[in-house]
Amino acid sequence: NYQGGIVAYIFQSGDPGYVSGETHGLIAAPFDQGVAEWGCYGTGIGSTSTAIGTGNQNTMNIIAGCATSNIAARLCSDLVLGGFSDWYLPSIDELHQVYQNIKTISSFVEPADYWSSSEAGPVNFAYFAWRERTGSLDPDPNNWPAPLDKIFLSSVRAVRSF
């Protein structure tokens, strides 16, 4: 355990936040924050970034653009854990790295869908967001991550940067 969670990804050269000679990365909450809708079905929020380093801004965009309570981004941004309150809903690339790196030591539910903060497009940003499927039910595990209707209930796992 480190700074409220589990070190789940160390930034690599080329990642935003990478500093040569220093260790920075992503910390995942040690447990799920619940199950929720992505939120604001039918509204494009503008959280379309999928890359590592964009989850925090995506989460701020979602909170600013969607007043609905108990949505995935709000569960993360409201979290206070281990004395830290800077948790956010990860982008799909962040979530994918977190899951791949800590699935054997953390309590990810399998099989389940986990929300990312990245809306899915390019046409349907108002209706779909990217999710990571754990313990794939699909015979081709390369099909994940994949988009999902924002109105569906999916699991939520917060991360923070260090």
In sign, the C-alpha dihedral spanning 97, 121, 133, 74 is positive
**Domain segments of the chain as ranges:** 6-161
* pLDDT given at position 146: 84
* pLDDT given at position 40: 94
Residue 60: half-sphere exposure toward Cβ, Cα within 13 Å: 5
* pLDDT given at position 135: 76
* pLDDT given at position 100: 85
List, in sequence order, every residue forming a beta bridge with 35; answer none if it has no partner. 155
Full-model pTM: 0.93
Nearest CA-CA partner of 75 in 39, 33, 135? 33
CB 21 within 8 A of CB 156: no
* pLDDT given at position 102: 79
- Tell me the mean pLDDT per 10 residues along the chain, length 162: 94 96 97 96 91 97 96 98 98 93 77 93 87 72 77 97 98
